[in-house]
Structure 1
Amino acid sequence: MYELFSDLGAWLVGGEQWTGPEGIGHRLLEHLQYSLLATVIAAAIALPIGLLIGHTGRGAFLAINLSSFGRALPTVGLVVLVFLIGGLSMVPVYVALVVLAVPAIVTNTYAGMSAVDPEVRDAARGQGMRGRQVLWQVELPLALPLIMTGLRLSLIQVVSTATVAAYVSFGGLGRYVFDGLAQRDLVQVLGGAVLVALVAVALDLLLAAVQRAVVPRGLKERSAASRTA
């Protein structure tokens, strides 16, 4: 076991492992591209849905159940299916990652909007605010802690699952996992898995810092109290 971890450490810090088109640096950039683009696309789809159903209270049952259905789909199976239909491209990978990321964003956005005190909405309307003003100036700021949590969960899931790009002969850190399995190279497999885990943790910490910066302290305390209750 000691020898395995020693070889893993040497593999991770080896200079030759970080250079060239097969190096960790290039694979890391590919992985970040897949993950961030898929999460941005998912957010562009899911945030409006979550905000709409949370603001109006309509379509919640259908939207949440469709999101849960998307979460239950096997990612690799979806990649292969879209791959067979659409041919050799990154489209199947992005479709699978977006489908994976949407549920958490929709669910948390809706939960955040639903958690807004109805009396706060009524008070805003009583001051003459219209529907859009209530949404953007009252409901959205109050729902922001849970919305950010949904984005963090989705990003972590996408980063962890973006290894499927290598399954259909594309790049990313999953290349080390699949190539290592094909070559029976346990060190390479573990190296790929460790790198994916480190990227997921680093991005989560980054988004946590962004959340602390954009969410007022009072809202964070209120959100924590609500979760405790």
Structure 2
Amino acid sequence: MELLTELMQYIMNNQSELLALTVEHILLVIYGVVLAFIVGVPLAIVAVKIPRLAPVILSVANILQNVPSLAMLAILMLYFGLGNTAVIIGLFFYSLLPIIRNTYVGLQEVSGSLLDAGKGVGMNSFQLLTKVQIPLSLPFIVAGLRVAAVIAVGVASIAPYIGGGGLGKEIVSGIAQRSDIKILAGAIPAALLAILADYLLGFVEKYTKKRTA
């Protein structure tokens, strides 16, 4: 109970700084995930259209996903220096696999009879993709974004180790000072952000499922 009281007092005394760190954390996640979406969806489309490239694309994304996060950020720091640029690129790499894999599966799940029907009414490949395959794949694509966002929120928490910002600053500072209060002041909002991202994108996913049912 005493710890909770101290934590609430600390948050009240440092609310403006914690809010700024939270906003910075959110922006890091958004930049990384949006960049992964912009690159990942086209890569998934290429994997579907050119099946021989699918194993290569998925394997590379899987390798990037399995590199330990601190090691990945340390490597990126060597090439992009300290700061948020290296963090965003790291979040981009970690967000690629769920987006590529889910989009790929979603496009593959579109019924062949629907594609044949589209061809029957004169649709070309681009029209089939944009008017049939992608709309029907939206629940899978949003599910990929959901997983990517939750992963990115967690990985962004170690950004300060390579000069990045976000709530990880409070966590790292707390570890250095052996302060439970500072660690919790950074860890709890980060956990809440992950829960919020999962909930909101889960709601969007359910909505898209209803629309495509």
Give TM class, smaller chain: over 0.9
Secondary structure at the residue paired with 2:175? helix
Contact 1:35 1:155 in 2 (8 A): yes
> What does the per-residue CA deviation read over 1:112-153, in whole Å, with 9 as the maximum and x for residues that have no partner?
011111121112112211101111111111111011000111
Within a 5 Å distance, the mapping from 1:35-114 to structure 2 comes to 35-114=29-108
| TM-score, structure 1 as length reference | 0.86
In 1, the alpha carbon distance for the partners of 2:170 and 2:83 equals: 20
Instruction: Specify which of 15, 20, 23 is matched with residue 18 of structure 1.
Output: 15
In 2, the alpha carbon distance for the partners of 1:218 and 1:179 equals: 46
Contact 1:55 1:113 in 2 (8 A): no
Unaligned runs of 5+ in 1: 222-229
Q: Which moved more, 1:98-107 or 1:111-120?
A: 111-120
Q: CA deviation at 1:32?
A: 1.0
In 1, the alpha carbon distance for the partners of 2:163 and 2:122 equals: 57
Q: CA deviation at 1:162?
A: 0.6
Q: CA deviation at 1:111?
A: 0.5
Q: Which amino acid aligns with 1:38?
A: G
Tell me the equivalent position of 2:210: 217
Q: Which amino acid aligns with 1:6?
A: T
Secondary structure at the residue paired with 1:63? helix
In 2, the alpha carbon distance for the partners of 1:49 and 1:203 equals: 24
Q: CA deviation at 1:37?
A: 0.6
Q: CA deviation at 1:58?
A: 4.0
In 2, the alpha carbon distance for the partners of 1:155 and 1:98 equals: 10
Q: CA deviation at 1:59?
A: 1.4
In 2, the alpha carbon distance for the partners of 1:43 and 1:96 equals: 14
Within a 5 Å distance, the mapping from 1:125-144 to structure 2 comes to 125-144=119-138
1:120 and 2:87 equivalent?
no
User: In percent, how many aligned pairs have the same letter?
Assistant: 28
Q: CA deviation at 1:62?
A: 1.0
Contact 2:142 2:205 in 1 (8 A): yes
Contact 2:139 2:209 in 1 (8 A): no
Contact 2:157 2:166 in 1 (8 A): yes
In 1, the alpha carbon distance for the partners of 2:26 and 2:79 equals: 26
Q: Which amino acid aligns with 2:178?
A: R
Contact 2:83 2:165 in 1 (8 A): no
Higher relative contact order (CA 8 A, sep 6+): 2
Secondary structure at the residue paired with 2:14? helix
Residues 190, 165 of structure 1: alpha-carbon distance in 2 compared, 3 angstrom cutoff: same
Contact 2:83 2:163 in 1 (8 A): no
Residues 74, 216 of structure 1: alpha-carbon distance in 2 compared, 3 angstrom cutoff: closer
Contact 2:73 2:90 in 1 (8 A): yes
Secondary structure at the residue paired with 1:59? helix
Contact 1:54 1:109 in 2 (8 A): no
> What does the per-residue CA deviation read over 1:132-185, in whole Å, with 9 as the maximum and x for residues that have no partner?
111111111111101100011101111111112211233210011100000000
Q: CA deviation at 1:11?
A: 2.9
Q: CA deviation at 1:205?
A: 2.3
Contact 2:37 2:96 in 1 (8 A): yes
Secondary structure at the residue paired with 1:172? coil
Q: CA deviation at 1:110?
A: 0.2
Contact 1:162 1:174 in 2 (8 A): yes
Contact 2:82 2:164 in 1 (8 A): no
- Give RMSD over aligned pairs: 1.7
